Amino acid sequence: MKRPVLAICITLCSIWNYSNAQSVNLKDFEEVPLPILESKELYQLNNRLNQEFAVSIVKGQLQINKSVYSPTIEYDLPQGKLLGVNHGEFGGGLYFKPNDTTKKQIYVNVQLHSLNTKADPFLRGLMIPSANPTNKLIKNTILIKNGNINKIFTYKNSLYIMESLAHMGLSYGAIHKLQVGADSIKGSLAIKFDDAPMQLSVYKENLYVATLKRFYIIRNWQKELLLDNLFWSYLYPNSIAVKDEQHIYIGMRGGYAGAGSSGIA
């Protein structure tokens, strides 16, 4: 795998009124050398708060959309809905909202957890103002675990969550396996990281993970470090798109990066 290059948007970005559904033309990006850590160029990209780009593979081709960050993710299950919350240093958690509105308790790893009918964030592992929209989402939910949840996904017919924290020199995270039943939820550790995992993509039998400063491939739950000391800790990777094992793209603030024999134009 060749060393990635960063492609940054140089036209139109500052005047468009984006939404999540709007696609961005690849011709509006320019290939540039990787920015150096602590450089002026990197800080300039970091300041592009309204220019977040997400990558995906559609019909075998790279597609880029404008992305808007959300501190919450939702995942529907037959039994109800999982809600992942990530407010960074202000806390987060994994919550469950049962479809059965009469259900007031559920067993989580053998311990009984109760429905919280109040939207009080300080009782739910969060330190956010009462007016924050997340408080409405966590009302009438059951707290499954504390932690900053940034991914809920399926892998080999099983359900997983990814949690992460990077703050004031701390950087760590993990992937946990979940088993959701009618009256219980069980969680077990799948793999730990000593660098905060930011985004993840499943491709064939493997997991591709962008952490704060590294890029891994996970085969059979064994980490293989592909890249280290990366620049993107300042640019908040928000998506990973794998076309094949030689063509991998990461969406982030200010543009996108890619690794592969054909490069990016």
State the amino acid at position 201 in one-letter form: S
39 near 6, Cβ under 8 Å? no
pLDDT of residue 6: 53
Nearest to 256 by CA among 26, 18, 21, 3: 26
For residue 125, pLDDT beyond 80 = no
Mean pLDDT throughout 216-228? 94
For residue 220, pLDDT beyond 80 = yes
CA distance from start to end of the chain:
17
pLDDT of residue 20: 46
pLDDT 10s digits, 59-108: 999 999 998 889 999 999 999 999 999 999 899 999 999 999 898 999 99
For residue 11, pLDDT beyond 50 = no
pTM of the model: 0.87
Minimum mean pLDDT range among 9-13, 58-62, 102-106, 248-252: 9-13
Would you state the structure tokens that stand for residue 59, as one six-digit string?
């019909």
Average pLDDT of the chain, as a whole number:
85
Residues 6+ apart with CB under 8 A from 95: 82, 83, 84, 85, 124, 137, 138, 141, 142, 143, 144
pLDDT 10s digits, 187-204: 999 999 999 999 999 999
3 state DSSP class of 141: strand
Element counts in the chain: helices (H) and strands (E): 2, 22
State the amino acid at position 178 in one-letter form: L
Would you state the structure tokens that stand for residue 213, as one six-digit string?
């400063």
Q: Which helix (H) or strand (E) holds 135?
A: helix 134-138
pLDDT of residue 120: 58
pLDDT of residue 96: 95
> What length does the chain have?
265
Alpha-carbon gap, residue 13 to 17, rounded angstroms:
9
pLDDT of residue 123: 59
Reported confidence tier of residue 209, pLDDT bands at 50, 70, 90: very high
- Angle subtended at Cα 216 by Cα 211 and Cα 221, rounded to the nearest 5 degrees: 110
Q: Which residue matches tokens 């491939």?
A: 217
pLDDT of residue 14: 30
Round the CA-based radius of gyration of the chain to a whole number and report it: 19
Mean pLDDT throughout 136-162? 94
The top-scoring range by mean pLDDT among 7-16, 120-129, 215-224 is 215-224
Would you state the structure tokens that stand for residue 208, as one six-digit string?
């591709």
pLDDT 10s digits, 15-65: 333 344 478 888 888 887 888 888 888 888 888 878 899 999 999 999 999
pLDDT of residue 265: 29
pLDDT of residue 4: 53
